[in-house]
Chains A and B, each alone.
Chain A
Amino acid sequence: MVPYMLLLPQLAIVTIFFLWPAAEAIQSSFYLEDPFGFGSTFVGLDNFTDMLTSTDYGRVARFTAVFTFFVTFLSLGFALLLAVKADKVLRGASTYKTLLMWVYAVAPPVAGLIGVLLFDQHVGPMVDLFAMFGWKMQIGVNYFDTSFAMIVTAVWKQIPVNFIFFLSGLQGISKSVQEAASIDCRSGFRRFWTVTFPLLAPTGFFLLIINITYAFFDTFGIVDVIVKNEPGNNPVTLVYKVYLDGFRGNDLGGSSAQSVILMALVFILTIIQFRLIERRVHYT
């Protein structure tokens, strides 16, 4: 009986707050709910086809793809550059490390609020800065400008995580390998691409998945704060649309169908991630 008692709290929570809602989401994605809550009719895959063929969903999906692409690659790129440099520094290494990682603790909506301040049309210094180059930013009005502010904020928030993982990956590369490489090859640049970078690849792949998940889900707070609760014509992500259709639009079936699509996506990403983890453990 002992093991069951030990597992009981976790299993109870998982069943009530995880399995049940997930099952409910899958079920209601096949039904059309009466707006007054009187009943629902089985509509098969209609919710999915309606969703996937709607222009609105296509627009949001496209934005999410572009957003995810930029957030992932920019934050990975900057973090890798900083980690490589921080790995080499001897003096002040821990100070650099602390200063580059502490933003991890800032909540996404707080980061969003800082973004709102810096990109505000009246008081924001970023707007003044870009105005000098002739770019009149209008956050919340102009689709492109708003996306730009969102991506900058999301990248800023994500650099620390990538930096920490890259740095710990770099520190895991044995000194003897590095010394051997430096005897064989004088060019530091070539050494990085032919020795260090391949050795970092497992960390990089792993971070790629982490970052895609981040851009999809954890940026909700940033998006919500920057669009200031007025999605209108502003760019939003797929997760934001699930929230919007479900809670504002009261479209239970449509929102659930979107949830199911996202579930499938996360499922695939997680499978890939698990495979990579196995390989990562194998590497080290």
Chain B
Amino acid sequence: MYKLKISDHLILLTGVFFMVAPVVLTFMTSTHDAIAIYKGGVQFLPGDKFLENYETVLFQAGGFTQEVNGFVMLKNSMILGFGFAIGKIVISMLAAYAIVYFRFPFASVCFWIIFATLLLPLEVRILPSYEIVQSLGMVNTYSGLIVPLIASATGTFFFRQFFMSVPDELLEAARIDGAGPWKFFKDILVPLSKTMIAAIFIIMFVFGWNQYLWPTLITTDESLFTLVRGIKQILQVWVGAQIPAFNEAMALAILAMLPPVLIVVIFQSWFVKGLVESDK
């Protein structure tokens, strides 16, 4: 059939180079001191300031109020990533369960209300969303950070598709054996959905971790900053300085991308499944 040519590998290697090189340069730059970078430009080789820079970024207070350090931001990012992913999975599984397995008045109204959210990303209704969260007193709280992001129905749509592919015979069999709705959900549907849950968890964790606009608006208190939210501060405080501290800025950038990248690489097959299935 098809004979593989050297040129095919060359094209792939070039692609890999362009995808990987920027991050490698970022990492190399994060292991030097600020003056070396200022004099010599972006560094192509590892330096000897790796431990020093990452220690500074993780444990020494930075930012405007000198209260927040990388470790706190890492913790907040974890809270946002896990809180968003778990919250979304629980809420959307329950809703999808109701939509697929129950017949009740106003079912189609509920369905359309939920799926209308797919039409409007948070970005287009950002100002009124902010005002409502503010009037509810949820600015600078974890719930104000996480709950409004859960509003979109991507997860519900995804689980609905999956539940509809589960054979009806299972429900009948469970009913004959005397299982109630809760038992059916807990003992049959959830175990069946395990792979799906894992796949959607990865997508949602990465999505939550990478949120930028909403955290920028809703957290003004630096102790609630996530790593991705902190990028803006980095830019102003470190890169905007007399001698720009690119080393520390890039160390924080590496920290901000490391957990989601690791998850995507380690659980690659689930991730691809989740991405391809959930966008259908």
Chain A residues with CB under 8 Å of chain B are 2-4, 6-7, 9-11, 13-22, 24-25, 28, 78, 81-82, 85-86, 88-90, 96-110, 112-114, 116-118, 120, 122-125, 128, 156, 159-161, 164-165, 168, 178-179, 182, 188, 206, 210, 213, 217, 220-221, 224-225, 228-229, 239, 242-243, 246-247, 252, 255-256, 259, 262-263, 266-267, 270, 277, 280-281
Contacts and interface: CB of A to CB of B under 8 A. Distances in A.
Contact of A107 (B15, B20, B113, B256): B256
B95 A221 contact: no
A246 B147 CA distance: 22
9 contacts: A9-B90, A17-B151, A18-B117, A99-B19, A107-B256, A159-B19, A164-B275, A168-B276, A221-B228
Contacts, number: 282
Contacts of A270: 118-119
Given A122-B38, A220-B213, A10 B15 contact: no
B132 A6 contact: no
Given A89-B4, A105-B263, A220-B123, A7 B231 contact: no
Nearest to B259: A105
Given A10-B91, A229-B236, A263-B124, A123 B132 contact: no
Nearest to B101: A3
Nearest to A95: B16
Which A-B residue pairs are the 5 nearest by beta carbons?
A107-B210, A6-B98, A21-B128, A24-B128, A3-B102
Interface string B99-121: 10010100100100110111111
Contact of A122 (B2, B41, B275): B41
A14 B153 contact: yes
A168 B274 CA distance: 12
Nearest to B206: A105
B127 interface: yes
A256 B91 contact: no
B72 to A, nearest CB: 18
Given A14-B113, A247-B130, 20 more contacts: A6-B94, A6-B95, A9-B91, A13-B148, A25-B124, A25-B125, A82-B11, A102-B261, A104-B206, A106-B23, A109-B228, A116-B235, A117-B29, A128-B41, A156-B19, A161-B275, A164-B276, A224-B212, A228-B236, A229-B232
Given A96-B12, A168-B276, A110 B257 contact: yes
Give the bracket for the number of chain B residues in contact with chain A: 35 or more
Contacts of B246: 117, 120, 123
A87 to B, nearest CB: 10
A277 B216 CA distance: 34
Interface string B131-170: 1110010000000000110111100100000000000000
Contacts of A179: 1
Contact of B125 (A2, A101, A124, A259): A259
B12 A108 contact: no
Interface string B57-89: 000000000000000000000000000000000
Contacts of B90: 9
B199 interface: no
Interface in B193-247: 206, 209-210, 212-213, 216-217, 228, 231-232, 234-236, 239-240, 244, 246
A85 B8 contact: yes
A105 B264 contact: yes
A161 B264 CA distance: 12
B53 interface: no
Contacts of A21: 125, 128-129, 131-132
A21 B135 CA distance: 12
Contacts of A160: 19
Contact of B234 (A16, A107, A113, A263): A113
A210 B279 CA distance: 9
A281 to B, nearest CB: 8
Counting chain A CB atoms within 10 Å of each CB, the highest count among B23, B119, B129, B246 belongs to B119
A228 B235 contact: yes
A77 B136 CA distance: 46
A109 to B, nearest CB: 4
A182 B25 contact: no
A170 B20 CA distance: 24
B25 A220 contact: no
Nearest to A94: B268
B237 to A, nearest CB: 12
A19 B113 contact: yes
Given A10-B91, A17-B147, A225-B231, A280 B280 contact: yes
